[in-house]
Amino acid sequence: MSSAANNPSNSTAATGLNPGLLRSLFPVLHQQVKGQPLAYLDNAATTQTPLPVQQAMLDFEQHHRANIHRGVHLLSQRATDAFDAARATLKAFVGASSQQELVFTTGTTEALNMVAQGLWLGGSGHAWLRPGDEIIVSGLEHHANLIPWQHAARMTGAKLRILLPDAQGQVHLADLQALISDKTRVFAITAAANATGERPPYEAMLTLAKQAGALTVLDAAQAVGHTMPALADLDCDFCAFSGHKMYGPMGTGALVGQRAALERLYPLRLGGDMVEWVEYDSAGYAAVPTRLEGGTPNVTGAVGLAAAADFIEHIGRAHIDAHIAQLRAQAVAGLQALEGLTLYAPHASHAALVSFVVDDVHPHDIGTLLDERGIAVRTGHHCAEPLHNHLGKGPTTRASFALYNTEDEVRRLIDGVAHALQVMR
Cβ neighbours, 10 Å, residue 295? 11
CA distances from 222 to 37, 108, 197 (A): 26, 10, 9
Report the distance separating Cα 248 and Cα 106, nearest Å.
Answer: 12
Q: Alpha-carbon distance 326 to 323, whole Å? A: 5
DSSP 8-class letter at 292:
G
Catalytic, 236? Answer: no
* Rounded CA separation 135/187 (Å): 6
DSSP one-letter string for 70-95: S--SHHHHHHHHHHHHHHHHHHHHHT
Rounded to 5°, the CA angle 103-104-108 comes to 95
Q: What angle is formed at CA 210 by the lines to CA 293 and CA 134, rounded to 5 degrees? A: 80
Q: Could you tell me which residues are beta bridge partners of residue 178? A: none
Distance, in Å, from the CA atom of 396 to the CA atom of 216, rounded to the nearest integer, reads 30
Nearest-Å Rg of the Cα atoms of the chain is 22
Residues 6+ apart with CB under 8 A from 419: 369, 373
Residue 359 CA, chain-centre distance (Å), reads: 30
Q: What is the DSSP letter of 288?
A: T
Q: Which backbone phi and psi does 162 adopt, to 5 degrees?
A: -110, 130
**80 closest CA partner among 315, 293, 395:** 293
Whole-angstrom distance, CA of residue 139 vs CA of residue 386: 8
Can you give the length of the chain in residues? Answer: 425
- Number of alpha helices (DSSP H) and beta strands (DSSP E) in the chain: 14, 17
> Considering 66, 383, 414, 418, which one is annotated as catalytic?
383
Catalytic site residues?
383
